[in-house]
Amino acid sequence: MSTETHAAHHGHDAPAHGSLRGYLIGFGLSVVLTAIPFWLVMTNVLGDNQATALIIMALAVVQIVVHMVYFLHMNVRSENGWTMLALIFTLILVVITLTGSLWVMYHLNANMMPTMHDMRQMP
Amino acid sequence: MTTTVTAVHQDTEAPVFYLADEHEHAEGGSTMLGFWIYLMSDCLIFAVLFATYGVLGGSYAAGPSPRDLFDLELVALNTSMLLLSSITYGFAMLTMEKDRVGATQLWLAVTGLFGLAFLGIELYEFAHLIHEGATPQRSAFLSSFFALVGTHGLHVTFGIVWLVTLMVQVGQRGLIPANRRRLMCLSMFWHFLDVVWIGVFTFVYLMGMLR
């Protein structure tokens, strides 16, 4: 019981702060990770929209992880792992929401086109 | 900490030790976890708005498209304001660690000013769009755009109100444990908004220009 209370205490206390080094590394990385996608889109150096889109999405994911680690101080130990568990649960819901909405609405659009079901034949 | 615990443990009965220990840690003991779960619910709100934008973002109703409307240089400026406010809030937390009330308030003020700069640029952009006739009523794309970006802007607004409130409270009471806890919650809120903005500038602005 007492060890559990102590673990909980240190669990929420230790990772909530950062160090100057940590904040500066996080800031430096996020500046680079923001500048690259803006540069890619503004100058259109690749000349290929699909490739550019894939790269900037990948960079956004990396930058979100950087912010999570260096600014939000996420790790598997904080609050005995409960924050990480809540995050994973939320991410699952986010993925279901996003992919589900896009998938359903894409198929709805494709199947509801007047060309497929001719409107003149409708009652 | 450990020495006092063992001393209490040797002197008194076990239940008294538990009671004393609980009392010391009870106040605000689970605030951080609770606030994190609130942020996760906020994350779901934004996920739904992103999904809406993803579904409706291509429906222009013969109106203007992102390419006609968005000014990427303005968005880059906006983004840098929010990034700078994130690092200055980090500095506020570091000075809080060192118990420097004045410096903490100074960094909070700088954070608030960067937040205001972000909001000012966003409102200028919105006013410009509405002036051009690109109102939320114009097309499904613009409805979902204003809903998503506007909700983020509203969060930043409330964050600034909260920040000013905490500056006053820190001025009145100093860096007491309750105020430290509040500052840590706002820190999570502020950095979380920056994370959401990464999604906004990537999916709405940059991907919009590639459409």
Contacts of B73 (CB under 8 A, 6+ apart): A42
Dist CA B211 CA B208 (whole Å): 5
Structure tokens at B8: 């209490």
Q: What does the pLDDT average to over A88-96?
A: 96
Residue owning tokens 């860096």: B175
Q: Whole-prediction pTM value?
A: 0.84
Phi-psi region of B187 (alpha: psi -120 to 50; beta: other; left: phi over 0): alpha
pLDDT tens-digit map of B27-48: 777 899 999 999 999 999 999 9
Residue A12 pLDDT more than 90?
A: no
Lowest mean pLDDT among A90-99, A114-123, B147-156: A114-123
Three-class HEC string of A90-101: HHHHHHHHHHHH
Q: What does the pLDDT average to over B173-179?
A: 94
Interface with A, mutate which of B42, B79, B85, B207 (most A CBs under 10 A) = B207
Cβ(B184)–Cβ(A16) below 8 Å: yes
The dihedral formed by the CA atoms of B4, B9, B11 and B15, expressed in degrees to the nearest 10: 130
Q: Specify the higher pLDDT residue, B151 or A73.
A: B151
Among candidate residues B204, B211, B209, the one with its CA nearest the CA of residue B151:
B204
When CB atoms are compared, the residue of A12, A18, A49 closest to B33 is A12
For residue B113, the distance in angstroms to the closest alpha carbon of chain A comes to 18
Question: What's residue B16's pLDDT?
Answer: 55
Residue A73 pLDDT more than 60?
A: yes
Burial of B86 (0-12, 13-18, 19+ CB in 10 A): buried
When CB atoms are compared, the residue of A16, A68, A105 closest to B184 is A16
Among candidate residues A31, A24, A72, A74, the one with its CA nearest the CA of residue B87:
A24
Q: Quick one: what percent of chain B has pLDDT higher than 70?
A: 88
Residue B83 pLDDT more than 60?
A: yes
Q: Specify the higher pLDDT residue, B148 or A10.
A: B148
pLDDT tens-digit map of B180-205: 999 999 999 999 999 999 999 999 99
Interface with B, mutate which of A65, A94, A96, A109 (most B CBs under 10 A) = A94
Q: Which residues of B touch A57 (CB under 8 A)?
A: 202, 207
For residue B104, the distance in angstroms to the closest alpha carbon of chain A comes to 14
The CA radius of gyration of chain A, in Å to the nearest whole number, is: 23
Q: Specify the higher pLDDT residue, B151 or A5.
A: B151
Among candidate residues A64, A66, A92, the one with its CA nearest the CA of residue B44:
A92
Among candidate residues B129, B122, B156, the one with its CA nearest the CA of residue B46:
B156
Q: Do A42 and B87 touch (CB under 8 A)?
A: no
**Chain CA centroid to CA A46, Å:** 24
Q: Specify the higher pLDDT residue, A11 or B175.
A: B175
Residue B178 pLDDT more than 80?
A: yes
Question: What's residue A5's pLDDT?
Answer: 40
Secondary-structure breakdown of chain B: helix, strand, coil percentages, each rounded to the nearest 5: 85, 0, 15
Among candidate residues A9, A22, A7, the one with its CA nearest the CA of residue A74:
A22
Question: What's residue A2's pLDDT?
Answer: 39
pLDDT grade for A76, boundaries at 50, 70 and 90? confident
Q: What does the pLDDT average to over B149-162?
A: 98
Question: What's residue B41's pLDDT?
Answer: 96
Q: Specify the higher pLDDT residue, B23 or A79.
A: A79
Q: Specify the higher pLDDT residue, A16 or A81.
A: A81
Structure tokens at A63: 């930058």
Question: What's residue B195's pLDDT?
Answer: 97
Q: Do A102 and B54 touch (CB under 8 A)?
A: yes
Question: What's residue A110's pLDDT?
Answer: 74
Residue A121 sits at the chain B interface (C-beta within 8 Å):
no
Question: What's residue B3's pLDDT?
Answer: 47
Question: What's residue A70's pLDDT?
Answer: 94
Burial of B27 (0-12, 13-18, 19+ CB in 10 A): exposed
Q: Do A71 and B90 touch (CB under 8 A)?
A: yes
Lowest mean pLDDT among A42-51, A63-72, B8-17, B94-103: B8-17
Cβ-based neighbour number of residue B168 at 10 Å: 10
* Interface ipTM: 0.84
Q: Annotate chain A with DSSP letters as a single string.
A: -HHHHHHHHHHHHSTTS--HHHHHHHHHHHHHHHHHHHHHHHH--S--HHHHHHHHHHHHHHHHHHHHHHTS---SSGGGGHHHHHHHHHHHHHHHHHHHHHHHHHHHHHHS-TTTS-GGG--
